[in-house]
Structure 1
Amino acid sequence: MTEPTPATIDVVAIGNAIVDVIARSDDAFLAQHALNKGAMQLIDAATAEQLYADMGSAIETSGGSAANTLAGLAALGKNCGFIGQVNDDQLGAVFAHDIRALGVRFATAPLSGDEPTARCLILVTPDAQRTMNTFLGASQYLPATAIDADLIRSAGILYLEGYLWDPQQPRAAMRAAIAAARDAGRRVAFTLSDNFVIDRHRADFLDLIDQGLIDILFSNEGEVQSLVQIDDFDAAVAQVAAKVPVLVSTRSEKGVIAVVDGIRYEVPAAPVAQVVDTTGAGDLFAAGFLAAHIDGRGVEDCLKLGAAAAAEVISHYGARPEADLNRIRDALFG
């Protein structure tokens, strides 16, 4: 590992380049299509076409977990870059335009051919639960050659999305990115994303942790328990926190905890007048936490800004912030 030089970019993220299609639904529709409420499942092209045809009127917006986090970070004034694969098609152009319009550097060359840009069909029920049905398309073909090692070495933090660990090519790309970040003395943040991802790649994730390759690990309550296959939340947190410098775990209305160098911190959930759509809650939490962390704030402040950013995004449809996150930050910290 080389001696770190000053970072010129705050965060570079690698993730699925997805366009979200969000529509209201009800439990009967979910049952009709045999969908597991509140979960995320991968679907093929034929299923995506059928489900899209059956959905009601929808909002289409660029998404993807890591890209959503960068949207929050950019809104909070951070300098960011994104690496992700789109196709040279209409949705690919939409995604590229949207993320660049945020001020995020995005230079991954698009694919040409039969694998269209990824899309996530999100059904939101009246209780604000979101059921996500993801067609990965081109995003699962991100090659290791797409990794801009110089860009990664220039960033203070490399942020990786667990969802993208599933396909083989992006997994190799992220391993190459981790190696580049580590060689440059940079920190690596990783979000576990979903229990189904953990079930498929638990051994890989534990190996990354055991090797000391993860500096900041984001999870929710169920994910941290699933990772170490322990039903007791506190016991699961203790086991994982012993191996990572920073462990963060969100607990919905029960608030959020972080364990940093063995010390546990906890703050309540931020108030929200009405929960409309929980899509992107974890993504924006990570954005708020990392933004405060980059600013050098204490752990509790990082948790508070994360909770406030999550509260903002669940108060409306879509996984990108609509309110001014800088005003929310300033109201918190003065």
Structure 2
Amino acid sequence: MTDTRLDVLAIGDAVVDVIATADDDFLAEEGLPKGSMRLIDATEATRLYARMNQARETSGGSAANTMAGLAALGGRAGFVGQVAADQLGEIFAHDIRALGVEFRTPPSDPEIPTGRCLILVTPDAQRTMNTFAGAAHTLSEAALDPKQIEDAAILYLEAYLWRPAGPRAAMKKAIEIAHRAGRKVALTMSDIACIASSRDSFLELIGGGGVDMLFANENEVKALTGRDDFDAAVADASAQVPLLVVTCGERGAIAIERGRRVAVSAERVGPVVDTTGAGDLFAAGFLRGHAEGRPLEQSLRIGAVAAAEIISHFGARPEADLKALVAEHLQ
């Protein structure tokens, strides 16, 4: 895709990930279902943070993680997301730019602080997320740079940001700009909770041709289509989009492009430590392969390698040399 300045420009939640270990008793005390994601307010964020073990803080957010992975793989990545003019906002901006991701969104008034995601990781590597969206959900059309959208081969949208009216309007405007410029639009379903609250509007967007690539996991594709059977759900979803990518955990992933189905098995880089960001990094790998014009199977395998690396350590940002890992596994 040589006619563009960026391979992918993502729009998503700009939050700071705060990651700490926790045991099952802690989750029970807090009444938190393991592996769940809930939205919390500023007061609850402060209270829970005070109870957490020593934590690690990095810029986060689903789409931002994907762009960090894309940059680590040598791709040209950009990100649009709203932070406030506060300490966490500065951390986010510095961190993502240092990773090689273009980030131009001006900070907003600190009256609504930068969002943060408090992530509790249990010994079985499952992550339980508690998200205070903060400034992230104040993103508006005014924050968009139309030229930046036109300069990207793929516009990548995060479902976490779809529910609030302002960010949804911004993403719809971005879709118009991208398609008018002849660019592709990708959507990641992010979490089953996003589908529960906005299923009808997602179906309207997808059915209306607003999405060229759809990323989901097994549970998400079932929830989106209303099908309990996985194969039936995949058949329904793939009939709505030119390219569907579905991750299947330990069983790998599949892609269906205009009726052609390709599957790959999961890759192994090390022990499973923390599943935070697995889907985000899988998308990064797939998008990197797609941007390079690689066949579906190779793009899926790059995604599997990136996901395997991310679950081998704490946090949703790569620690190993992803380009070297991909070269090794694709031999």
Quote the residue 2:263 is aligned against: 266
1:38 to 35, 45, 50: 35
Quote the residue 1:157 is aligned against: 154
TM-score (norm 2): 0.98
Is 1:329 the counterpart of 2:331? The answer is no
Quote the residue 2:136 is aligned against: 139
Is this contact kept in 1: 2:214–2:241, CA < 8 A? yes
Q: Distance in 1 between matches of 2:271 and 2:2?
A: 45
Q: Map 1:1-334 to 2 at 5 A.
A: 6-334=3-331
> Which shows bigger deviation, 268-277 or 282-291?
268-277
Q: Distance in 1 between matches of 2:249 and 2:100?
A: 30
Cα shift at 1:332: 2.7
Is this contact kept in 1: 2:282–2:306, CA < 8 A? yes
Encode CA deviations 1:164-198: one digit per residue, 9 max, x unaligned: 11211111110110010011110001000111100
**Which one-letter code corresponds to 2:202 in the other structure?**
F
In the comparison of the two structures, how many residue pairs are matched?
Answer: 331
> Which shows bigger deviation, 55-64 or 311-320?
55-64
Q: Distance in 2 between matches of 1:93 and 1:186?
A: 31
**Which one-letter code corresponds to 1:123 in the other structure?**
L
What is the root-mean-square deviation in Å for CA atoms of aligned residues? 1.2
**Which one-letter code corresponds to 1:134 in the other structure?**
T
**Which one-letter code corresponds to 1:252 in the other structure?**
G
Unaligned runs of 5+ in 2: none
Q: Distance in 2 between matches of 1:271 and 1:79?
A: 26
Unaligned runs of 5+ in 1: none
Q: Distance in 2 between matches of 1:139 and 1:104?
A: 18
**Helix, strand or coil: the match of 1:249?**
strand
Cα shift at 1:243: 1.1
Cα shift at 1:113: 3.3
**Which one-letter code corresponds to 1:283 in the other structure?**
D
**Which one-letter code corresponds to 2:146 in the other structure?**
A
Q: Distance in 2 between matches of 1:104 and 1:273?
A: 27
**Which one-letter code corresponds to 1:152 in the other structure?**
I
Q: Distance in 2 between matches of 1:61 and 1:104?
A: 14
Q: Distance in 1 between matches of 2:2 and 2:125?
A: 44
**Helix, strand or coil: the match of 2:302?**
helix
Cα shift at 1:79: 1.2
**Helix, strand or coil: the match of 2:301?**
helix
Cα shift at 1:5: 9.4
Encode CA deviations 1:114-166: one digit per residue, 9 max, x unaligned: 11100000000010000000000000000111111110011100000010112
Encode CA deviations 1:219-249: one digit per residue, 9 max, x unaligned: 0000000001111000000001011111011
Q: Distance in 2 between matches of 1:69 and 1:237?
A: 23
**Helix, strand or coil: the match of 2:172?**
helix
Identity %: 60
Q: Distance in 1 between matches of 2:110 and 2:270?
A: 46
Q: Distance in 2 between matches of 1:333 and 1:268?
A: 13
**Which one-letter code corresponds to 1:64 in the other structure?**
G
Q: Distance in 2 between matches of 1:177 and 1:5?
A: 21
Q: Distance in 2 between matches of 1:265 and 1:306?
A: 13
